[in-house]
A and B are shown apart, each in its own frame.
Chain A
Amino acid sequence: MTSMFDSVREDGVAPNSAESIVGKSPRELAWARMSRDKVSLFALGVIITYLLVAALAPVICAVLGISPYALDGNALNDYGLPKGAFGGISTEHWLGVEPGTGRDIFARLIYGARASLLVGILATILTTAIGLVIGVVAGYKRGWVDSIIGRFMDVTLAFPSFLLIIALTRPFTQRLESLGVPEGNPARMTYIILVLATFGWVYVARVVRGQTLSLREREFVEAAKASGATSRHIVFKQLLPNLWAPVIVIVSLSLPGYVATESTLSFLGLGLMQPAASWGVMLGDSVRYYRADPTYLFIPGIALVVLVMAFNIVGDAVRDALDPKADRQNLL
Chain B
Amino acid sequence: MFLFIVRRIFFAMVLLLAVSFFTYMLFAMLPSDPAALTCGKNCKPDVIAANRIRLGYDKSLLEQYWLFLKGIFAGRDYGTGAAAFSCGAPSLGYSFGQHECVTTLIAQTFPVTAYLSIGAFMLWMLIGISTGAIAALNKGKWQDRAASIFTSIGVSLPTFYIGLLVLFSVVIWLRILPFPSYESPFDDFPVFLRTMILPWLVLAVLSAASYTRLTRNGMLEAMNEDFVRLGVAKGLTRRIILRRYVMRQALVPIVTIAGLDFAGLLGGAIITESVFSLPGMGKMSIRAVVESDLPVLVGTTMVAAVFIVIANVLVDIAYGYLDPRVRVK
Contacts and interface: CB of A to CB of B under 8 A. Distances in A.
Given A1-B253, A39-B145, A332-B228, A163 B156 contact: no
A4 B22 contact: no
A154 interface: yes
B15 interface: yes
B308 interface: yes
B287 to A, nearest CB: 11
Interface string B150-183: 0111011111110011001000000000000000
A264 interface: yes
Interface string B71-115: 000000000000000000000000000000000000000000000
Contacts, number: 169
Interface string A241-262: 0000000010001001101110
Contact of A168 (B26, B145, B148, B228): B26
B199 interface: no
A128 interface: no
A67 B241 CA distance: 60
B157 A166 contact: no
Given A253-B213, A331-B229, A308 B18 contact: no
B171 to A, nearest CB: 11
A163 B155 contact: no
B301 interface: yes
Contacts of A2: 253
A263 B148 contact: no
Interface in B185-241: 210, 213-214, 217-218, 220-225, 228-229, 232, 238, 241
A295 interface: no
Q: Tell me whether chain A's interface is mostly helix, strand or loop, or mixed.
A: helix
B30 interface: yes
A259 B223 contact: no
29 contacts: A1-B256, A3-B218, A3-B250, A3-B253, A4-B253, A7-B225, A154-B15, A157-B312, A158-B15, A158-B309, A163-B268, A171-B31, A253-B155, A257-B156, A268-B286, A283-B161, A287-B160, A290-B164, A290-B168, A291-B168, A304-B157, A307-B156, A309-B148, A309-B156, A312-B148, A312-B151, A313-B148, A332-B137, A332-B238
- Listed from nearest, the 3 A-B pairs whose CB atoms lie closest are A308-B156, A309-B152, A160-B304
A263 B185 CA distance: 34
A216 interface: no
B149 interface: yes
Contacts of B23: 159
Contact of B217 (A4, A154, A168): A4
Nearest to A311: B152
Interface of A: 1-7, 39, 151, 154-155, 157-160, 162-164, 166-168, 170-171, 174, 249, 253, 256-257, 259-261, 263-264, 267-268, 280, 283-284, 287, 290-291, 297, 301, 304-305, 307-309, 311-313, 316, 319-320, 323, 325, 328, 330-332
B152 A312 contact: yes
A298 to B, nearest CB: 9
Nearest to A14: B224
Contacts of A332: 137, 223, 228, 232, 238, 241-242, 246
B168 A163 contact: no
Contacts of B277: none
A39 B156 CA distance: 20
Contacts of B128: none
B310 to A, nearest CB: 10
Contacts of B223: 330-332
Nearest to A6: B221
B19 interface: yes
